Homo-oligomer: A and B are copies of this chain.
Amino acid sequence: MATIVDVAARAGVGVGTVSRVINDSPLVSDRTRAKVLAVIEELDYRPSSLARGLSLGHSTMIGVVVPFFHTPSVVERLRGVADVLNDTDYDLVLFNVDSVKQRDERFGVLNRRDRSEGALVISLPPPPDQLRRLRERKRPVVFVDVDVPGFPCVTVDDVEGGRLAARHLLELGHRRIAFVGDPEKGAFGFTSSARRRRGFVEGMKAAGQDLPEGFVRRAPHGLESARAVTAELLGLPDPPTAVFAASDTQALGVLEAARALGLEVPGGLSVVGFDDIEGAAYAGLATVRQPLHQSGAEGARLLLRLLGGEGDAGKVELPLEVVVRASTGPPGDL
């Protein structure tokens, strides 16, 4: 592997000059530049990012923490991050988190300046003690899909999203609408489901609709458990005519339950999800869409700006939008 010294020697110049050529410094004569470039080509020389980083005093790695297990949506966000970062000199260093223990380890790594220049945390609320350390050290960290006070974040207004879902179903004429979401005391402290529920209940109240007893259901995140609680809901003496699920994955479970009971959708049951993952379109699922890919891209841009010293990045709130598909319609329209 050729080094800068080899290139300098072969080109008959000093290493400083080679360095200037590499870094597009204007202080090199065209003649010299051409010569050096030729040698670089000939020797197939590539600067060592390690040595460069050491000399410059910073690395080129950005840590990205992702709970893969959580939902299909985090993958889409990650793609957004990768798309932006791949156009820069930064490398995307990936940390998967599948357990609370792993989460704490990963956040520990983020706190170490030597491993990465900055970090992006996707869909994962930080543990309080690690957060304190992050604050103390003023490490450049951007959160995506989580709102952490004092840190740049890319989020959506989950409460508003809940209201949007309620409004859509109310406008179709539904009155008996149930909610299916996550437990609100999970190990990782995810809170979006709770906020969506709140917005939904608010929206119902605003329209003068109270939720019947037992119409708010919480089950471990996943299609299967959503299916199970929905089966219970539909078995009620006076079942709902519509369900708002806190995520598309859960909404797919709701559809599954309806199908298993031979209930027509949307005639017998209308369903609205949240996220607009790829599978939602296939399933004809109406949903509250949030810009997943864009959230990752925006987060990466925020971090880049922070790293570039361009002041505090602040908060970014992305827009929500109801996507109407075959899974919703007027109640009782068999």
Q: Are A93 and B95 in contact (CB under 8 A)?
A: no
Q: Does A82 have its Cβ within 8 Å of any Cβ on chain B?
A: yes
Q: How many residues of A contact B (CB 8 A)?
A: 38
Q: Are A46 and B95 in contact (CB under 8 A)?
A: no
Per the bound structure, the CA–CA distance linking A152 and B85 in Å amounts to 29
* CB neighbours of A54 from chain B (8 A): 48, 50-51, 54
Q: Are A68 and B50 in contact (CB under 8 A)?
A: no
* CB neighbours of A256 from chain B (8 A): 282
Question: Least Cβ distance of A109 to chain B in Å?
Answer: 9
Per the bound structure, the CA–CA distance linking A72 and B102 in Å amounts to 23
Interface centre among A96, A115, A224 (most CB of B within 10 A): A96
Binary interface profile of A, 55-98, with partner B (CB < 8 Å = 1, else 0)? 00001010010001000100100110011001000011111101
Q: Does A279 have its Cβ within 8 Å of any Cβ on chain B?
A: yes
Q: Which of B68, B112, B252, B279 contacts A46 (CB 8 A)?
A: B112
Q: Which of B49, B53, B95 contacts A82 (CB 8 A)?
A: B95
Q: Are A50 and B59 in contact (CB under 8 A)?
A: yes
* CB neighbours of A59 from chain B (8 A): 49-50
Q: Are A79 and B68 in contact (CB under 8 A)?
A: yes
20 A-B pairs with CB atoms under 8 Å apart are: A1-B113, A46-B112, A46-B113, A48-B54, A48-B114, A49-B59, A49-B114, A61-B93, A64-B94, A68-B75, A68-B79, A86-B95, A86-B96, A86-B102, A91-B93, A92-B93, A93-B93, A93-B94, A223-B282, A279-B279
